[in-house]
A and B are shown apart, each in its own frame.
Chain A
């Protein structure tokens, strides 16, 4: 029987957690943007670059996909700073900042995953379509923009949506490096009040809503990008879904 006091506690907790939401969103957007750019570069280099560069990229992907983000973040933030050369180097003003460090660690990690997704998507573009494009006289950039990128993007979306949602949740590790986002604040409230399940429920609700909104957005995008798969759908549904 939850009493008025318990509801008060839940409301206060929710308020405190929501106050940390901008930090979570900031971490997420910055790291997805930085990670996306990095991943595009990595994919390009891996498919087109010299063999030794491609091997380097593979090593990068291996290390960052292969170890837990928690350990990566710990080593980027606390580990790098142990070297005097880093502390006196030009990057220190950036690395000194916990938020920037968290974004870098998150972006490095997501870039490794995203590069794999992009690569898988490129490999799934039917060769026939590329040949058809070539036959029409397209080449290089035009071929990439008109044929390969849209098809690859469509193919990548389910996996990429997974990666994006993962990133939302990965931001929860940033409290390790003193960036107090939603999960960090939740853990802090738990440490003082010991009300584990209640506080976690509030935090979970926030993440769930956030991720639900993101997944909806991607679903709309997926629908828009796949006209060829819609042919069988009834006309009425098509009109309704295209409206938003």
Chain B
């Protein structure tokens, strides 16, 4: 109750009536996931709703791609990050963390029935306090079994370090961008075992795509994984952090964390002790992990039988249908969003591209130079960075200026507008090249002829140059349209729910990766198919004026 008392000053001051914005990925089931109707759900989501009620704060959840999250926090677009963030000292340099609300164990996964399907110590719980423990008897047993094998891990996770330190010398370690991918590669046989969070595995293994996988070896927990998972804040946001700290402590004390954890993760992940300041290497006894036994121990095939091959089709129909729990509506809406973003970005790009092409072809050296810099810069820098700079850099700038003028926090540029601008700027650089190539393909004689019969610049442009540039540029322009369509996928980092983002969220929330990627690919194909058709007609139309093409070389 002391903890709750600590909240009062915060409540009194509040945040000027503004809701606290909490960002989560929305595709890391069962921690945070997106339901087919677009509503966020999962362990963390339910927990944070509970915490906000406790703090009497108005909270708003937004789903966002991981790549944009930290920049969003620093730009002031969101206030709290919630994405199963492991608290580490290195990350503390950038973020402030709440006290942990979960502390999980990790384990191996292998192909059912393979030599590694039953590693030593399977079904046991192993508590380690030192990160590097190749001399520990249990670890030695595992080392003997894994010698010469390939171990798959998620890059830059806390587990990666552990695997490198203890198995890096005797096994091949392969790093994957996400947990889903290492599972798939164990299925494919490129890796022998994967090592990751046990709560993640338990959900992942319950779906039809990963039926062939089984948990293997001990559950490894203890002080090696650090303090656990916490909320992330801006470092100067001391009040908000204090409020969350107190609320998390209260939720742990009254068993809420335990209840939600058992509901979603099928295991209690409550971090019971207060985080020890420097427990690493102290050889502390096993941390009580309150009933941390997996319900489905490796030998039993307790994984709930999902769809049998025979009923696979109805299953698919349900997932992509329009009924309750179907993703059909969300996917259709995302296609619409992609179309809107692409069309708008192409418009922005056409204007910019025309100007840049004119600049590059002009007689003025300064204009030519500027055009060239634009082309080189926006074609040469990875698209993702341009989007970062315009979206996050731009709004940080706006926020700073507003603060300097004493205006307090402002909303900044809306996601959609910033995304369209960024994609349009890139598209413009490519369109400029296409227009320039088209201009250069006009035979000089025609322009000279136009000049000699006294056409002025405007008329020459309208009658001679533009029609021919468009004709020569058509195939290249078709390429740029496709390119822009696919670049629009990158604004998923800003949280705009276009096709790519919806595909990833769907795949992560349901663990049906292939299905969602295939459908996502098909949606893009449908859209590019339409634009390709249009360009084909256009090419045919302008082609009428060309004589027999060199198809008959």
Q: Which residues of A contact B (CB under 8 A)?
A: 47-48, 62-63, 65-72, 74-75, 78-79, 81-82, 87, 96, 98, 113, 116-117, 119-120, 122-127, 130, 143-144, 148, 155, 157-159, 161-162, 165-166, 169, 172, 175-176, 178, 180, 183-184, 187-197, 200-201, 203-204, 207-208, 210-212, 215, 226, 228-229
Contact = CB atoms under 8 A, between A and B. Distances in A.
Contacts of A67: 486, 521, 524-525, 528
A65 B479 contact: yes
Interface residues of B, number: 76
Name the residue in B93, B377, B380, B482 with the highest tally of chain A Cβ atoms < 10 Å from its Cβ.
B380
Contact of A66 (B383, B482, B513): B482
A187 B475 contact: no
B190 A124 contact: no
Contacts of B187: 81-82
A159 B476 contact: yes
Interface of B: 67, 70-71, 74, 88, 90-91, 93-95, 155-157, 174-177, 181, 184-185, 187-190, 376-377, 379-385, 388, 392-393, 430, 433-434, 436-437, 440-441, 443-444, 472, 474-476, 478-479, 482-483, 486, 489, 500, 503, 513-514, 517-518, 520-521, 524-525, 527-529, 532, 546-551, 553
Nearest to A193: B90
Contact of B550 (A123, A158, A193): A123
Nearest to B187: A82
Contacts of B529: 62, 66
Given A155-B441, A159-B475, A188-B156, 17 more contacts: A62-B525, A67-B525, A71-B520, A75-B514, A81-B188, A116-B479, A148-B553, A162-B476, A162-B479, A172-B384, A183-B382, A187-B67, A187-B177, A191-B156, A203-B385, A207-B381, A207-B382
A162 B379 contact: yes
B379 A176 contact: no
B290 to A, nearest CB: 30
Nearest to B180: A78
A192 to B, nearest CB: 5
A146 B320 CA distance: 55
A174 to B, nearest CB: 10
A91 B551 CA distance: 36
Contacts of B521: 67-68, 71-72, 75
**9 residue pairs, one from A and one from B, having the closest CB atoms:** A81-B188, A120-B475, A66-B528, A158-B437, A191-B156, A211-B380, A194-B94, A71-B521, A67-B521
B177 A184 contact: yes
Contacts of B532: 62, 65-66
A54 to B, nearest CB: 10
A81 B9 CA distance: 58
A208 B525 CA distance: 30
Contacts of B380: 165, 207-208, 210-212, 215
